Structure 1
């Protein structure tokens, strides 16, 4: 396959027009692993290139084997950290760790989601979903589903998990935009949060919010220097929770004692906060409007769910598979290995395509179709293996609750304009989704 073809998959501009599924299937017919060059692109420096894996079985093999395919060696984003110092910093985040460090922190997080905390969060999610749809239906019969409906539910849920005051949740909207949308001019310098309406902690943090330089560029949001407002907020929030714990998951996490008597360090908490506030927000924030696009593209499926809401929990996994919000993740080979007939050398970048794996015809009958009763549904939306998404349960609950409310309280939903998609080769994002409905 010519380099020009695979380069389309690397170019973030491609995804503003939609995913090139035909190209992915052409590649699949030629093999499970393909080399992709990394030319310099607007906002992206040139890179060494990478092996793109599009086969479901190989994707699963890779993410289950951190000894061979490391998350820590080069981080989990396709583009390399700019400096060794930046690499050392991203390695302090759970997302970019390998066992045993990853295992230790993961165990602490899992223990913080106590049965009582989980039940409380589920109840609050249902209430948030109802309130959001109340607000949607109280105004004109048109809205931007992506911003006015879908964006708020994960923010409210994360505020509950993190113990962030409700009036500060808009900070997470801006932080997520800046990190996930760093290649998109609409998002890269997001600063919609009004500090005057937030807490004193928020005001102190926002005072550190970076501004674009003379060329209009923002600092790299993956490093501490690029997100000083987020890290300041996390530090102050951690101090407040240690002094006055609440019943939120983060308070429980901060209070935990390990077998050796150790606790979560300040730096570990700050990086954990980054992970929850950004990564925990974006997958569902884009999965919800992606699911609406799926239903608008398949009106029979929307009608079936409206007629029988008991189908919604099963449909949630299919809606997520059909859209697949997180398209790729990177690993780095720790040794020379043969992967799907391709020679991979130690130090090579290996990028798994969850998007392509979730359309693999060897696993999914009619992979391009939306089958809301699809069982089994062995998708990789939430990853797999040691790094499987710890928030997967809550993502499913949020999507089920929101669509139960939206579909149960409307008679008809139609597009009211063209969706606007995110410029990103990582997140399949929806910036705007205008809809109209009949209540």
Structure 2
């Protein structure tokens, strides 16, 4: 690794600690780094060293330069050295799953192009009635809970899962199974949902992951076989019959495609949906303001996405000696893009630590940028718009009914508990 500014050891260790990301301390660390070491290296114990990029402009610059800062050469999501080594044992590369987020260059563009049209506004307009129907079901379910619920657990988790599984073509009776399997494969860092991966030796870890991958492959092989025999208007049919360079895509790529659609289309949107409700429950006058002027809803949604930033970090590496924000970075160096820091950058956002429905423009980075911009960003916004279009006219009041709690994760992180008390018409 190229020499440069080195983050203090205690702070570097916190950047590698999932529980820190469930507290405001992570934003205190980011604020200090933006002011003092916007591009600096961290050497936490048990991890390969990595650069931490915290300013909006630098994150944007790296995100745009896909060839210079590829996703696939090193681990794309942050993990300790032992787990990365085990991934190599299982798959022969740093990644457990081969998917769009681990692909680069022409390969990425070809695979992204297979389904990109399904997530563009024109196709989503066709799907809009079904999404609005699921939103209405969720609002009815909330009304049926009386005057209190855990909004994150009771509403946010279920609604986007139903949407993405319906678009994918997974039968409703399999929703719980798919949620469990896709969470298992990524080994969630939060203690409420994690398998005790850290306690397993290399052979045990390999066995757990191989069983999960085998289960997912078996499940989606059946789905694909069915769609090849009986095509439908769903994403599974597109994936099952996909052709790259004149050849059907392989099972590894096929399974990876299913997994990334199922996971990326669920947890992140659920976090942002809860972020909107958190704001409505805590920002004085916000509920009345938006309910009186529903044209503010898109801005409310965009600010919630900025505020939550569900994907806290992604990793890149340097393809050659280069620089980021004036700091020399060496070929092969591992790089953490701290999106949650970029979305609180004082040089870009006025009052970045205030939730402002009047924030316009809002150049938030939560969906990434460049070639790896989130494929499902338009669908996520549509889901949120549909839910709150149905809910806000009926929601007379809402307040917190306990302490919100965040997922402990360095990667995808949002509210896992949001107890509220509410009154609905």
2:313 corresponds, among 328, 332, 357, to 328
1:129 matched to which residue of 2?
135
Q: Within 5 Å, give how 1:259-408 maps onto structure 2.
A: 260-408=245-393
Q: Tell me whether 1:170 sits opposite 2:176 in the alignment.
A: yes
Partner-residue secondary structure (3-state), 2:399 = strand
Residues 120 and 87 from structure 1, CA distance in 2 versus in 1: closer, same or farther, beyond 3 angstroms? farther
Deviation, structure 1 residue 60: 0.9
Aligned length: 411
1:232 matched to which residue of 2?
218
2:236 matched to which residue of 1?
250
Residues 70 and 421 from structure 1, CA distance in 2 versus in 1: closer, same or farther, beyond 3 angstroms? same
CA contact (8 A) 1:117 1:249 kept: no
Task: Provide the C-alpha distance between the structure 2 equivalents of 1:263 and 1:214, rounded to a whole number of angstroms.
Answer: 37
Task: Provide the C-alpha distance between the structure 2 equivalents of 1:214 and 1:339, rounded to a whole number of angstroms.
Answer: 37
2:3 matched to which residue of 1?
none
Residues 273-312 of structure 1, C-alpha deviations (whole Å, 9 max, x = no match): 0111112211112121122223323132222112222210
Query: Which blocks of at least 5 consecutive residues in structure 2 are unaligned?
Result: 1-6
Deviation, structure 1 residue 113: 4.8
CA contact (8 A) 1:291 1:323 kept: no
Partner-residue secondary structure (3-state), 2:190 = coil
Task: Provide the C-alpha distance between the structure 2 equivalents of 1:75 and 1:213, rounded to a whole number of angstroms.
Answer: 21
CA contact (8 A) 1:410 1:437 kept: yes
Task: Provide the C-alpha distance between the structure 1 equivalents of 2:55 and 2:96, rounded to a whole number of angstroms.
Answer: 28
1:70 matched to which residue of 2?
70
2:99 corresponds, among 86, 90, 93, to 93
Deviation, structure 1 residue 355: 0.3
Deviation, structure 1 residue 220: 6.7
Task: Provide the C-alpha distance between the structure 2 equivalents of 1:30 and 1:222, rounded to a whole number of angstroms.
Answer: 42
Task: Provide the C-alpha distance between the structure 2 equivalents of 1:140 and 1:356, rounded to a whole number of angstroms.
Answer: 38
CA contact (8 A) 2:22 2:405 kept: yes
Which range is displaced more, 221-230 or 59-68?
221-230
Query: Which blocks of at least 5 consecutive residues in structure 1 are unaligned?
Result: 40-45, 191-210
Task: Provide the C-alpha distance between the structure 2 equivalents of 1:232 and 1:126, rounded to a whole number of angstroms.
Answer: 32
1:82 matched to which residue of 2?
85
- Could you say which structure has the greater relative contact order, defined with CA pairs below 8 angstroms and 6 or more residues apart? 2
Task: Provide the C-alpha distance between the structure 2 equivalents of 1:8 and 1:2, rounded to a whole number of angstroms.
Answer: 10
- When the two chains are superposed, the root-mean-square deviation of aligned CA atoms in Å is 2.6
Residues 338-388 of structure 1, C-alpha deviations (whole Å, 9 max, x = no match): 222322111111110110111112211111111212211111110000000
TM-score (norm. length: structure 2): 0.89
1:51 matched to which residue of 2?
51
Deviation, structure 1 residue 221: 10
Which range is displaced more, 124-133 or 29-38?
29-38
Q: Within 5 Å, give how 1:5-154 maps onto structure 2.
A: 5-39=11-45, 46-79=46-79, 81-83=84-86, 84-85=88-89, 86=91, 88=93, 90=96, 92-113=98-119, 117-154=123-160
Deviation, structure 1 residue 224: 4.5
Q: Within 5 Å, give how 1:204-215 maps onto structure 2.
A: none
1:438 matched to which residue of 2?
423
1:186 matched to which residue of 2?
192
Deviation, structure 1 residue 115: 7.1
Which range is displaced more, 218-227 or 395-404?
218-227
Task: Provide the C-alpha distance between the structure 2 equivalents of 1:63 and 1:214, rounded to a whole number of angstroms.
Answer: 35
Residues 205-237 of structure 1, C-alpha deviations (whole Å, 9 max, x = no match): xxxxxx99889x984799554443222211211
Task: Provide the C-alpha distance between the structure 2 equivalents of 1:226 and 1:349, rounded to a whole number of angstroms.
Answer: 28
Residues 17 and 55 from structure 1, CA distance in 2 versus in 1: closer, same or farther, beyond 3 angstroms? closer
Task: Provide the C-alpha distance between the structure 2 equivalents of 1:212 and 1:333, rounded to a whole number of angstroms.
Answer: 28
Task: Provide the C-alpha distance between the structure 2 equivalents of 1:66 and 1:253, rounded to a whole number of angstroms.
Answer: 25
Task: Provide the C-alpha distance between the structure 2 equivalents of 1:254 and 1:76, rounded to a whole number of angstroms.
Answer: 25
Which range is displaced more, 398-407 or 317-326?
398-407
Task: Provide the C-alpha distance between the structure 1 equivalents of 2:186 and 2:19, rounded to a whole number of angstroms.
Answer: 14
